[in-house]
Chains A and B, each alone.
Chain A
Amino acid sequence: MAMDPARKRRLRLTVALTAALVLAGGLVYTSFSAGSPARNPSELLKSAQAGQSYKVVGIVVKDSVKHDGDALLFKVRDRDGTAETAIPIRYTGSVPDPFREGREVRVNVSRASGETTFVGEKDSLITKCPSKFIAEDGSKPAGTY
Chain B
Amino acid sequence: MPILGRAALIIALAVCAYGIFAAIYGAVTGRRAFIESARRSVYALAIATTVAFVVLELAFLRSDFSFAVVSGHSSTTTPWYYKASAMWSSQEGSLLLWVWLLSIWSSLVIFLTRNRLRDVVPWATAVLLGYGAFFAALLVFKVSPFETLSPAPTEGAGLNPLLRHPAMMIHPPMLYSGYTLFAVPFAFAIGALITKRVDAEWIRSTRRFALGAWLLLGIGILLGARWSYNELGWGGYWAWDAVENASLMPWLTGTAFIHSIMIQEKRGMLKVWNVSLVLATGILCVLGTFLVRSGILDSIHAFGASTLGVPFVTLIAGMSLGSIALVVWRRGILRSEHKLDSLLSREAIFLLNNLVLVALCFVVFWGTFFPLISEAITGEETAVGPPWFSRYTVPLALLLVLLSGIGPLIAWRRATPRNLRKTFAFPAGCGLVALVAMLFIPGVPQKPLAMIMFALGAFVIGTIAQELWRGTSARRAMTGEAAPLAVVSLVRRNRRRYGGYFVHLGIVFMFVGVAASSAFQHAEDRRLQVGQSTTVNGYDVKYVRSTATFQSDPSKTGAMLTLGAVLDVSKDGKHIATLTPGRGYYSSSNANDGLFEQLINGEPTSEVALKTGPMRDFWTAVAPDFTKLQPLVDAIDKGLGQNENMTQDGLLRGYVAGLTAFTEAYKQSPPPAMFRIISSPMVMWIWIGALIAIGGGLIALWPAPDAARRRATANLKARVAQDLSRA
Specify which chain B residues have a CB less than 8 angstroms from the CB of A136 in the assembled complex. 91, 294-295, 302, 305-308
A94 near B370 (CB under 8 angstroms)? no
**Contact A131-B163, Cβ < 8 Å, known A32-B374, A34-B384, A94-B525:** yes
Q: Are B163 and A27 in contact, with the CB atoms below 8 A?
A: no
CA distance A39 to B394 in the complex (A): 30
CA distance A31 to B363 in the complex (A): 10
Contact between chains at B385 and A133 (CB < 8 Å): no
Contact assessment for B359 and A143 in the assembled complex, using a CB-CB cutoff below 8 Å: no
In the complex the two chains form, is B235's CB within 8 Å of A145's CB? Answer: no
Selected from A38, A57, A95, A143, the residue in CB contact (under 8 A) with B233 is A95
Q: Are A5 and B339 in contact (CB under 8 A)?
A: yes
Q: Are A143 and B602 in contact (CB under 8 A)?
A: yes
Confirm or deny: A117 has a beta carbon within 8 angstroms of a beta carbon on chain B.
no
Residue A77 CB within 8 A of the other chain: no
Out of B233, B243, B523, B605, which one reaches A129, CB within 8 Å?
Answer: B243
Minimum C-beta distance from B662 to chain A (A): 19
What A residues does B232 contact at CB under 8 A?
A: 96-97
Given contacts A94-B523, A96-B233, A129-B243, contact A27 B381 (CB under 8 A): no
- Give Cα A124–Cα B384 distance, bound, in whole angstroms: 12
Q: Which of B234, B384, B590 contacts A96 (CB 8 A)?
A: B234
A130 to B161, CA, bound (A): 9
Residues of B close to A34: CB separation below 8 A: 384-385, 387-388
Assess whether A55 is interfacial by the CB under 8 Å rule.
Answer: yes
Contact B363 A134 (CB under 8 A): no
Choose from B362, B381, B603 the contact partner of A98 (Cβ within 8 Å).
B603
Q: Are B157 and A129 in contact (CB under 8 A)?
A: no
A144 in contact (CB, < 8 A): yes
Q: Give chain A interface residues in 98-145, CB to chain B under 8 Å.
A: 98, 100-101, 108, 123-124, 126, 128-137, 142-145
Report the minimal beta-carbon distance from A113 to chain B, rounded to whole angstroms: 23
User: Across the interface, do A143 and B590 meet the contact criterion of CB distance under 8 Å?
Assistant: yes
A23 at the interface (CB under 8 A from B): yes
Query: A124–B385 contact, CB under 8 A?
Result: yes
Contact mask B337-371 → A, CB, 8 Å, 1/0?
A: 00110010000000000010001001100110011
- Inter-chain contacts of A95 with B (CB < 8 A): 233-234, 525, 623, 674
- Report Cα–Cα, A108/B370, bound state, in Å: 16
Q: Is B382 a contact partner of A70 (Cβ separation < 8 A)?
A: no
Tell me if A14 is interfacial: C-beta within 8 Å of chain B.
no
> Is B535 engaged at the interface, CB distance under 8 Å to the other chain?
no
A97 and B604 contact, CB distance less than 8 A: yes
C-alpha gap A26/B357 in the complex (Å)? 17
A123 to chain B, nearest CB (A): 7
Known: A92-B525, A144-B589, A145-B157. Contact between A31 and B234, CB under 8 A? no
On whether the beta carbons of A130 and B163 are closer than 8 Å, the reply is yes
Contacts of B157 in A (CB 8 A): 144-145
Q: How far is the CA of A35 from the CA of B157 in the complex (A)?
A: 38
Contact present for B162 and A38 (CB under 8 Å):
no
**Contact size class for A?**
35 or more
Contact A35 B339 (CB under 8 A): no
Does A47 interact with chain B (Cβ within 8 Å)?
no
**Bound complex: CA of A30 vs CA of B393, how far in Å?**
14
Q: Is B632 an interface residue when CB atoms closer than 8 A count as contact?
A: no
The closest CB in chain A to the CB of B343 belongs to A12
A16 within 8 A of B: yes
Contact, CB under 8 Å: A145 / B233: no
Select which of B241, B308, B370, B589 is within 8 A of A145 by beta carbon.
B589
Residue of B with least CB distance to A27 = B366
Question: Is B156 positioned at the interface, with any CB of A under 8 Å from its CB?
Answer: yes
A89 to B: closest C-beta gap in Å: 15
Residues of chain A with a CB closer than 8 A to B359's CB: 20, 23
- CA A15 to CA B505, docked complex, whole Å: 32
Q: Is B78 among interface residues, defined by CB-CB distance under 8 A?
A: no
Binary contact track A30-68/B, C-beta < 8 Å → 1, others 0: 111011111000000000000000010100000000110
In the bound complex, do residue B162 and residue A97 qualify as a contact, i.e. CB atoms below 8 Å apart?
Answer: yes
- Indicate whether A81 reaches chain B with its CB closer than 8 angstroms: no
Give residues of chain B (597-628) contacting chain A, Cβ–Cβ below 8 Å. Answer: 601-606, 623, 625, 627
A142 to B598, CA, bound (A): 11
Size category, B interface: 35 or more
Bound together, the chains give a CA A104 to CA B606 distance in angstroms of 19
Q: Which residues of chain A have C-beta atoms less than 8 A from B292's C-beta?
A: 131
A102 (CB) vs chain B CBs: closest residue: B590
Partner of B384, one of A5, A20, A35: A35
Chain A residues with Cβ under 8 A from B163's Cβ? 130-131
CB-CB under 8 A from B387, the residues of chain A are 34
Partner of B525, one of A5, A93, A98, A100: A93
Is there contact, CB below 8 Å, between B589 and A67? no
B160 at the interface (CB under 8 A from A): yes
Evaluate contact between B525 and A32: CB separation under 8 angstroms: no
From A12, A57, A126, A136, residue with most partner B Cβ within 10 Å: A136
**Residues of chain B contacted by A5 (CB below 8 angstroms):** 339
> In the bound complex, how far is the Cα of B241 from the Cα of A72, in angstroms?
23
User: Given known contacts A97-B606, A131-B160, A144-B588, is B676 in contact with A31 (CB within 8 Å)?
Assistant: no
* Chain B stretch 636-674: residues in CB contact (< 8 A) with chain A: 672, 674
B380 at the interface (CB under 8 A from A): yes
CA distance A97 to B157 in the complex (A): 18
* Contact (A97, B589) CB under 8 Å given A38-B371, A136-B294, A144-B157: no
Could you tell me the distance in whole angstroms from the C-beta of A97 to the nearest C-beta in chain B? 5
Please encode chain B, from 287 to 302, with 1 for each CB lying within 8 Å of some chain A CB and 0 for all others: 0000010110011001
Instruction: Report yes or no: A9 in contact with B382, Cβ–Cβ below 8 A.
Output: no
Asked if B384 and A16 sit within 8 Å, CB to CB, the answer is no
**Cα A31 to Cα B49 with chains together (Å):** 44
Chain B neighbourhood of A31, CB < 8 A: 366-367, 370, 374, 384, 388
Q: CB distance B367 to A129 under 8 Å?
A: no
Q: Which residues on A sit within 8 Å (CB–CB) of B89?
A: 131
Tell me, in angstroms, the Cα distance from A51 to B156 when the chains sit together. 47
Specify the chain B residue showing the minimal Cβ separation from A55.
B383
Q: With A95-B674, A133-B160 in contact, do A143 and B370 touch (Cβ < 8 Å)? A: no
Q: Do B589 and A27 touch across chains, with their CB atoms under 8 A apart? A: no
The verdict on B71 contacting chain A, using a C-beta distance below 8 Å, is yes
- Give the residues in chain A near B374, CB-CB below 8 Å: 31-32, 35
- Between-chain CB contacts (< 8 Å), 18 pairs: A12-B343, A16-B355, A24-B362, A34-B384, A35-B383, A35-B384, A38-B381, A38-B382, A38-B383, A97-B233, A98-B162, A100-B601, A134-B72, A135-B305, A137-B305, A144-B588, A145-B71, A145-B157
Using a CB–CB cutoff of 8 Å, the interface residues on chain B facing chain A are 71-72, 89, 91, 156-157, 160, 162-163, 232-235, 239, 241, 243, 292, 294-295, 298-299, 302, 305-308, 339-340, 343, 355, 359, 362-363, 366-367, 370-371, 374, 378, 380-385, 387-388, 391-392, 523, 525-527, 588-590, 592, 601-606, 623, 625, 627, 672, 674, 676
Q: Given A9-B339, A95-B525, 12 more contacts at CB 8 Å?
A: A20-B359, A27-B392, A32-B378, A94-B676, A95-B674, A96-B234, A98-B603, A129-B241, A134-B91, A136-B294, A136-B295, A136-B305
Nearest first, the 5 closest Cβ-Cβ pairs linking A and B are A145-B157, A35-B382, A94-B234, A130-B162, A143-B588
Binding site for B on A (CB under 8 A): 5, 9, 12, 16, 20, 23-24, 27-28, 30-32, 34-38, 55, 57, 66-67, 69-70, 72, 92-98, 100-101, 108, 123-124, 126, 128-137, 142-145
